[in-house]
Structure 1
Amino acid sequence: MIFYLDECFNTGNNWNDKSQPYFTYGGWIISEDNLEKANSIVKSFAEKHQGELKSKSFASHKGIKKVINLSKELMSKSNAVPYFVCFEKNYLIACKVVELFFDCQTNCKVNGYLTFPNEFEYFKIISNTEGINVSYENAKKYLPPIKMTKKALADIISTDQRLCTYIGDIINDENIHSECIYNIIEKLESLFYKQGFEQISNIFKIENFDAKKIYEELIGEELKDTTGIKVSKKSILVQPSLYEMIQNLRNHYRNLRLVVDTLGIQDSQFAEISERLEVPIEVVEESENEFMILASDLLVGHVARLVKNIIDNSNFVGESDIELLKSTITEKNSVFEHQSSIWHLKFSEKSGKKILEKLGYQLNDNGTNQILKDSFHLFRK
């Protein structure tokens, strides 16, 4: 299977770019047997369009309809699978805080549960190491609520815009001192106390944390080209999100390979991902002759602008505009086991509700705050 990948609204390490608070990665997954058919569909589409085949040229209502029709044709005639992840940058900052400050390697007051992304990943590890002979379905009611707990923690942190901006400044500015980690610890202690989570607030004492390790992970590391000249600083925004997406797909499609549109100075990140995940990745410098890259640009650009308009309460979002998004974010189209495909969207609770309501989902109150009150003791030492 080949995954043709493109991006939209990627500002790298600039976490505090107010003009682009969201970004999207994704494109089309297709088997090599169906590639020729898919290319012919996109080529025929391109021949009917004057000028460069870029998503910005299809931002009108008429243009969006053309992108939707092209996408439908790719799905129905060549079995292409649309796949994307869309992130809210402010929420990703909050997620990174959860990863760093609730990890047993940096916080001596928590156990290792929250190191795992969810309870299913935890179950896979303990099953392999301890020889547990029971299905996940039978075991999951006894597992700690890892996924919902991490989401609840991130939701609370993401509500503090000043804190997220402060952390974004640390990432952006190479000269900020590691003492800033102490400030973050104090701010988190105050935030959780004000929100009524005293048992969480109590763990935020400076002596409980490895501030040096947290700072090193938060600030990232410099990447250099073959001449030793610095070309970029590894972003905790771009690289891990790409890695997570490709890792998940690799687990589903064992023969996966990627064809990606160049990210310029961030191209070196693909080499690292390819080596770690053992996934062949081809970086395309000139994408005008790669028809499925062009189709990915159209898909991802449409999704990115649509999500932004929904969250910004735009009056220009109609039923036909969200048709493609609704067709991709459904239970039956999820490519992963044990979770719905709503994971396509990584947003705070407030923003996520706007999107899901627009898509017509029946929303359930998961009681995430109550989960913290009832279950956080399971994650403390």
Structure 2
Amino acid sequence: MSNVRNQPCSCGSGIKYKKCCLEHQNKYTVFCDETGNSGSNYLDLNQPFFVIAGWIVPNKNLKNTSYIEECTTSLGVSNELKSSKLIKRKKARQKFIDLFDSLCINLECIPTFVFAEKKYCVAAKIIETLLDPAYNNEVDYSFTFDNLKKKELTEKVYSFPNESLEDFINFYLDGNAEKMTQCIRQMSDHAYSIGLYEISKLFKGALSGIVNNLETEKAAHASMPNKAMEAINVPVFLSITQIIEKIGRKTKYNFSLVHDETKQFEDAYTDIFKKISEADSFEAKLTDGNSIIMGYKHLKDFSFITSSQSKWVQAADILAGVLGRLLNDIKDDTLNDDSLLKLAKTLLPSLLFQDVIKLSDSICSNQTREKIFEAIKPLEN
């Protein structure tokens, strides 16, 4: 074995095996970026989705950025790749297909992502806040981990008028108990009027504890800087760290996570990662088959880097931007561009056809998920 370690590495680098592929064996770096950030504006019609996406890159291939550089050059980009500036160009979309194919096939990279539909997140926030057993006598404490029931109720609230959802999130962020009380009564009345008697009753159960409830929520918001808790970024970021850690536990691989610099959320991301990763090892099983992991063993570290300094983060920016565009077009029933359809075929099936290892996740309504399925189903033939 010692003799093999000192032989030139079989990858052709010319470096000894012990200083090349052996050193990087079972080690990966995930480079990620975001799109669709609208802060506390949950119902931004121009950006209905928030996406965090990244490339899982074998460490042995970290130095090989030639495919990303080739894409940059061929598109005539003088500085760095930015999906927001390129996604409308047909030539750019074709180059993105070529880039994704090269990264996956030639460099063994794997795309991973989590997206959240903002309207659905408002509906989920209504359920989480108003049906908190600590402030609602109509709710049993077993509800805390009953994700199946939460999702069932969230789907129903998702169908409420946009005005009701917007009123709730505004009064929630303001912490105005009087206006929130009025909002809850209106939502309860609306639920009753359309036959959702259970939800109507549960909402009324939140009225007596709403002052203390909002005070607790306000204190939670103050625990993180730059109003980070008022946006959906933190929970979505936490979701992608959970995916990476679970991949590590199944494969026994070790990961580092690198995120593009983000002024508003850097402190919050760092804080939540530290708390979750360094906690005592624990796994909470949820009723929908998912779980929440505490105490990371395989996601070893987390850091930030500017996109101008990392070709891999630029590739993550392109991935996130493409996903955001795909999701917007699918939701609006306007996905008809051949290049975007091919990108949809490449990226979106991982949401619907997950085998042993989960590489992506969605926080969205059943209606939106069905639209995604319908958009990619014809592409399987």
How high is the TM-score relative to the length of structure 1? 0.75
Aligned residues: 321
* Structure 1 unaligned blocks of 5 or more: 119-145, 225-229, 363-381
Aligned to 2:52: 25
Q: Is the 8 A contact 2:50 2:324 kept in 1?
A: yes
Distance between the aligned counterparts of 2:94 and 2:126, measured in 1?
40
Alignment match of 2:365 (pick from 342, 348, 361): 348
Q: Does structure 2 retain, via aligned residues, the 8 Å contact 1:11–1:17?
A: yes
Task: Tell me the equivalent position of 1:241.
Answer: 236
Q: CA deviation at 1:237?
A: 1.3
Cα offset, 1:295, TM superposition: 0.4
Aligned-partner SS, 1:82: strand
The percent of aligned pairs where both chains have the same amino acid is: 24
Q: Deviations over 1:31-67 (max 9, x none)?
A: 2123233x23223332333223111224222211111
Q: Is the 8 A contact 1:329 1:344 kept in 2?
A: no
Q: How does 1:243-262 map to 2 (within 5 A)?
A: 243-253=238-248, 255-262=254-261
Determine the C-alpha separation between the residues in 2 that align with 1:217 and 1:325.
41
Residue 304 of structure 1 corresponds to 324
> Which amino acid in 1 is paired with 2:50?
F
Residue correspondence of structure 1 range 5-16 to structure 2 within 5 A: 5-16=32-43
**Is 1:112 matched up with 2:133?**
no
Q: 2: distance between equivalents of 1:335 and 1:117?
A: 22
How far residue 235 of structure 1 moved from its aligned partner, in angstroms, is: 2.4
1:358 counterpart residue number? 375
Give per-residue Cα distances to partners, 1:135-169, cap 9 Å, x unaligned. Answer: xxxxxxxxxxx2xx322211221222111111232
Distance in 2, Cα, partners of 1:20 & 1:159: 19
Deviation string for 1:264-287 (max 9, x for gaps)?
122111211221232522111x31
Q: Could you tell me whether the CA contact under 8 Å between 2:171 and 2:180 is conserved in 1?
A: no
Residues of 1 paired with 2:176 and 2:45: CA distance?
A: 24
> What is the correspondence of 1:29-40 to structure 2 with a 5 Å cutoff?
29-37=56-64, 39-40=65-66
Q: 2:275 matched to 1:276?
A: yes
Q: Deviations over 1:339-378 (max 9, x none)?
A: x77x63322233333222111179xxxxxxxxxxxxxxxx
* 2:308 alignment partner, one of 280, 288, 292: 288
* Shift in CA distance, 262/217, structure 1 to aligned 2, threshold 3 Å: farther
> Could you say which residue in structure 2 is the equivalent of 1:90?
119
Q: Greater shift after overlay, 296-305 or 154-163?
A: 154-163
2:345 is equivalent to residue 322 of structure 1: no
Cα displacement (A) at 1:299:
0.8
Q: What's the CA shift string for 1:251-275, capped at 9, x where partnerless?
A: 3225332111111122111211221
Residue 81 to residue 214, structure 1, CA distance change in 2 (3 Å):
farther
* Whole-angstrom CA distance in 1 between matches of 2:116 and 2:157: 16
Q: 1:185 matched to which residue of 2? A: 184
- Whether 1:41 and 2:42 are equivalent positions in the alignment is no
Question: 2:216 & 2:324 partners in 1: Cα distance?
Answer: 28
Q: Please state whether the residue corresponding to 2:336 is helix, strand or coil.
A: coil
Q: Could you tell me how far 1:236 is from its partner in structure 2?
A: 4.3
Which protein is bigger by CA-based radius of gyration? Answer: 2
Q: Is the 1:185–1:206 contact (alpha carbons within 8 Å) kept by the matching residues of 2?
A: no
Please state how far the C-alpha of 1:97 moved relative to its aligned partner.
Answer: 1.5
How has the CA–CA distance of structure 1 residues 9 and 180 changed in structure 2, closer, same or farther, with 3 Å as cutoff? same
Conservation of the 8 A alpha-carbon contact between 1:178 and 1:215: yes
8 Å Cα contact 1:102/1:110 also seen in 2: yes
SS of the residue corresponding to residue 202 of structure 2 reads coil
> In structure 2, the residue corresponding to 1:59 is in which secondary structure?
coil
2:100 aligned to which of 71, 81, 86: 71
Deviation at 1:208, TM superposition (A): 6.7
Query: 2:228–2:268: 8 Å Cα contact kept in structure 1?
Result: no
2:12 aligned residue = none
- Counterpart pick for 1:53 among 78, 81, 92: 81
TM-score (norm 2): 0.75
CA 1:218 to 1:337, structure 2 compared with 1: closer, same or farther past 3 Å?
farther
Task: Report the Cα offset of residue 213 of structure 1.
Answer: 4.4
Contact 2:81/2:314 (<8 A) preserved: yes
Change (3 A) 1:257 1:277: farther
Contact kept in structure 2, 1:91 and 1:154, CA below 8 Å: yes
- Where does residue 151 of structure 1 map in the other structure? 151
Aligned to 1:164: 165
CA–CA distance in structure 2, aligned partners of residues 204 and 29 of structure 1:
43
The amino acid that maps onto 1:346 is: I
Q: Partner of 2:304: helix, strand, or coil?
A: strand
Residues 117 and 54 of structure 1, relative CA distance in 2, 3 Å threshold: farther
How big is the alpha-carbon RMSD for the aligned residues of Structure 1 and Structure 2?
Answer: 2.9
Residue 223 of structure 1 and its aligned partner are, at CA, apart by 6.1
Identify if the C-alpha distance between structure 1 residues 86 and 183 changes in structure 2 by more than 3 Å, giving closer, same or farther: same
Evaluate the alpha carbon distance shift between residue 115 and residue 256 of structure 1 in structure 2; reply closer, same or farther with a 3 A threshold: farther
AA matched with 1:19? N
Report deviation, 1:217: 5.4
Contact kept? 2:270, 2:302, Cα under 8 Å: yes
Q: Distance between the aligned counterparts of 2:216 and 2:353, measured in 1? A: 32
- 1:105-145 CA-partner distances (Å, limit 9, x unpaired): 33222223432264xxxxxxxxxxxxxxxxxxxxxxxxxxx
